[in-house]
Every structure is written in structure tokens, then in C-alpha cells.
Structure 1
Amino acid sequence: MVITSTHRINGLGIDFGFNGVGRYTKLFDDPRLGSVMLWTVLWTVLVVGFTMVISLALAQLYNQNFPGRRVTRWALIIPWAASVIVTSIGFRWMLDEVAGMLNRLMLDLGLIPSAQNWTGDAAHAKPWLVFVAVFVSLPFTTYTLLAGLQSVPAEVYEAARVDGASTWQTYFRITLPLLRPSFLVALVINLINVFNSFPVIWGMTQGGPNTDTSTSTVFMYILGQTDVGESAAMSVVNFAVVIVMVLLFLRVSRWNEES
């Protein structure tokens, strides 16, 4: 990618030779880049944030004994087992203005006066993109946190009860600190996966209209249709951003600190 980004290559793959930082200059001069990167940051923060909060709640639920727990655990695997691109296309058809069942349902209930084009503009499409991305991210994150919860020794909770700790004190002073390694693993992997996510956005909006719902990864693919060198430059920038983001996060979270 680094070598390719220093060459001028058209959409047909014809290499016109070394171009130095010309592809990077073209990339950073692109007026669409700023809005794409802003949406990429917002997309990552929203999807990862909602995923971690909901997954923590689900992990707590699945860590309890209740009728049907095994069935609900199996059901949670479905969004993970299914192809992400197929899931995204399924949601796109569900949201379709003409044939989508969401419009049909809301019209029948009198919730909307006319059918809506839910993926036709960025204002409507972005919340749905976040919803679908969270939906497909929940299984892995929930099972990672559930594994962390089940690794906490029962003796620790017994000692807390003997010492008179309340439910909230036990949760914040025992459960969460001991869940920290699993939480950090899930968080880092989600940051990388969501930042680099392609199939959800491409399957639902293809980054449109224009590039209004494109993240940097989708934008990279769009650039590659006309200028492979500029697309490679975007790929290198993405890689650098991910590395810096993860390193900063690990430093702030003090990955190696033991308490």
C-alpha cells in the first residue's frame, strides 16, 4: 500500500510511474475528506459506545440463572453467524420506501403520513447505520464480557457479602475491576473493527448519497474506482490512524498496570 500510494495508477490499473507524495497531496486537497473523517470518528464513537454499554448489560443478564437462558444465548449468536453484508442488505430492503416492511407497518399503525426513504438521505440513514452496526457487534462483545464475568471467583463475592458490602459496592469495587481485562480486549477489537467497517455501510447506502455516509474505509474503496494510488494513500492514512488510536488508548488505560 505504501509503495502503491507513491504511484499514479488509474482505475484500470495502469501505472503511470512514481509520483512521490502527489497522491497524498490530492487526497488531502479533496474537499470531501474532512466530512468523511468527521463522520468516521462519530460513527466509531457511537457504535463502539452503544455496543459496549448494551453488551455489558446483556452479559450481566446472561450471567444470571433464569428460564430459557440457554435459548437466548444461542439466539444472540445469529447476528454474528450471519454474513454481515447479507444482514445489511436485508435491513436495506426492510427500510425500502416502496417494498419495505417498516414503512408498511408504520403506515398501517398511522405513525407516518406517507412512506419514508429511510436510506435516501444522510439524516435518516446514519441512525440506521449505527443501529445495524451495533446489532452485528453485540454477540462477540457480549460473549467476551460474559467470559470475563464467569472467570470471577465465587469466593470473592462470598467474602464481600461477609464483609457487608452492598450490591452496588460489590459491582463497582469487585465486578468491574476484575472485568477490566475482558472489557479492554472487547473495546480495542471493536475500535479496530468499527473504524475499518465496510459491509454495513456499503450494503445499505454504498456511502451515499454522494459520500455523505461514507467512512474513511468506504471512501477508500470509492477512490479506488478512479485512482488506485489515491485509494492506497487513504489506506495508509487509515492504518496510521488505527495504530495511533490504539496506542493512545492502551496508554491512557494503562494496559500493563496491575491493581
Structure 2
Amino acid sequence: MPVTVKEPAAGTGPGPGGRKTGPQRRRRGGIARLGPLPWIGPAVLLIVVVVLWPIYELIRTSFLNVSISGFVRGSAGTEKYRQLFDESGFGSVLTMTVVWTVAVVGVTMLVSLGLAQLFNKPFPGRTVTRWALIAPWAASVLMTAIGFRWMLDQTAGVLNTLMTDLGLIDGPKDWLGDPATAWPWMMFVAVFVSLPFTTYTLLAGLQTIPHEVYEAARIDGANARQTYWRVTVPLLRPAFLVGFVINLINVFNSFPIIWGMTQGGPGSDTATTTVFMYQLKSTDIGESAAMSVVNFAMVVVLVLIFLKVSRWNKEDA
């Protein structure tokens, strides 16, 4: 008896490769057609509003004549940039910003690496010391800076009182009034408040290294020094890069510490580019915006150079 095969209606059967066509395929619509956009859309919108739009406004303002009261008086072209580069203190501020960043980030990374390795080892009171390290991070940076400013005060500061009583100095010293002593103290405070984050970042990196790797190195005959440089350091590299880059950005743009301790004075002798930008705001908003653009470009270049040199996206051979 012949078997009758019923053909599927046109446009309803599976198409090439088993894909459905016709009405069944047309049912996919609405949100499905948008793909991942509903999920990433809010994040993209937030980035546009919070990051990209302010950058655009900053660059636009740097080419305008803006009064102190905030009224736009027309275009200034590149005049604000010429004024900025002609400022008498611009070169020294730029130099001290680089010195400040290199010194604070370098010391922070070295001390944090030592502390992270210490906290990774068992010792009596380790839990207490780990919690104690959070204190500089938990406190307000501005509050910490003001606290050190009071401690270093020339007339009522506890440091002058203590050192005078011990006979270490003949009389009260203006620690923050002289750039030669103000810079080391501000760098000390910057390292002090940067240590917790960097230490815990490196500690987390150390704790992700499998114990089996160290056991294999010991079986292969590697001594402690060889194990550290050939096992610990390469595996700690991702955490080190995270800590370094975030510290680089934070320290370069640091404002509360310097403003809270010296306000960049006397003049601009203890100012970085971020503080110098704020000082310019009181006299010329357009020039201050130009300094902000230069500051932003500098930090982007510094980060890109470091990432290029460190080959952050390359796997070790």
C-alpha cells in the first residue's frame, strides 16, 4: 500500500542547516532582537553621562573665555594653553608632580609587597595586624592630612614639642612652610594612606598561588631565592599590575593630602598639577580647564607607557 508523505506548508518547515523559517522565525522579536543591549545599556549610559560628557565639557571649556562668575565671553582658541605654558611655575610644578608620583608609588609598592608577604605567613597576632592596617584606608584622606598638619604645626604641633623636649631641635620648626621638609612629609602621608589597598591587593594575589607550585619547585631543587623570582613574582604579576596602575592614577591626581596640608603653598612650591589646576580656578577658569586637559592627557600617557613596558596582555613564555 503506498505511503503518502505530507509536505510541510511553505515557509513553516526547517530551512537550510535545520534553521526555522517563516512564522516560527518571525516570532523572535522585541527584546530578543536587541541582544545584550538591555543589559549593557545602563552601564554604557552611565559611562557617557559620568565620564565622556564631562571630558567633552572640560575640553570645550579650555577653548573658551569664561569669567570668574561662570559666564562665557566667547572663544579663546588656544590662548588658554599658551597662558598655561607661560606660567612661571608651570615647569617646576610639572617636575615635582613626576617626582611625587614616582616616589610615592615606588615606595608604596615596595612596602606593600613586604607587608603582603608578612601577612601571608602565620604569626601570633596576624589577624589583629591585618585589621589594624585597614585604619588608614577607613579614615577620610582629608581628615588624615589635616591630622598630620596639626601634628606638624609650628606653634602647637606635637612633633615640635616632642623634639624640643628631647633636645633634637633648638626651637619650633615650620615643617610645612618649607618645601624642602613639606614634600617628604606629604609623601609620607600619601604612602601611609595608600598602603592598605595595595597590601591587600598583593596579599590576595599571593593567596591565589597554589601550594602545589611551590612543592613542585622544591622537588625540582629550587632554593628560596629561585622560587621567589621564578614562581612567586611571575604569578603575582596580575595583582601587582592592578595595584600599580590604580596607585599611579590615584597618586598622580591626589588632591586632599596636598591641599589639606599646605594648599600647594607657599605660592605653588608644594603643588602638583592637580592642585595647580585648582589654584588657577580662582583667576582663570579657562586656563584651569586647560590644565585639567593636560593633566588628564599626562595620566593616560603614563598608564599606557607602563602597560606597554610591562606587556600586561602578554603571556610569559
Is structure 2 residue 127 aligned with structure 1 residue 31? no
Q: Structure 1: any 5+ residue segments left out of the alignment?
A: none
SS in 2 for 1:212: coil
Q: Does 1:17 align with 2:81?
A: no
Deviation at 1:16, TM superposition (A): 1.2
Aligned partner of 2:158 in structure 1 is 101
Q: Which residue of 2 aligns with 1:51?
A: 108
CA drift of 1:186 comes to: 0.7
**Displacement, 1:10?**
2.6
Amino acid at match of 1:2: I
Task: Give CA deviations for 1:73-108 in whole Å, capped at 9, x if unaligned.
Answer: 000000001000000000000000111101111111
Distance in 2, Cα, partners of 1:124 & 1:247:
32
Cα root mean square deviation, aligned: 0.7
Match of 2:240 among 171, 177, 183: 183
The more displaced of 247-256 and 34-43 is 247-256
How many aligned positions are there? 259
- Aligned mates of 2:223, 2:139 — CA distance in 1: 41
1:119 paired with 2:176, answer: yes
Mapped partners of 2:309, 2:188: distance in 1: 28
The share of aligned pairs that are identical, in percent, is 67
Q: Which has the higher contact order (CA 8 A, sep 6+)?
A: 1
Cα deviation code 1:29-82 (max 9, x no counterpart): 111100000000000000000000000000000000001101100000000010
**Alpha-carbon deviations, 1:188-242, whole Å to 9, x = none?**
1111110000000000000001100000000000001111110000000011111
Q: What is residue 286 of structure 2 aligned with on the other side?
A: 229
- 1:4 is aligned to 2:61: yes
Inter-partner Cα distance in structure 1 for 2:117 and 2:68: 50
Q: Distance in 2 between matches of 1:10 and 1:187?
A: 39
Residue equivalent to 1:79 = 136
The alignment status of 1:214 with 2:271, answered yes or no, reads yes
| Helix, strand or coil at the partner of 1:64 | coil
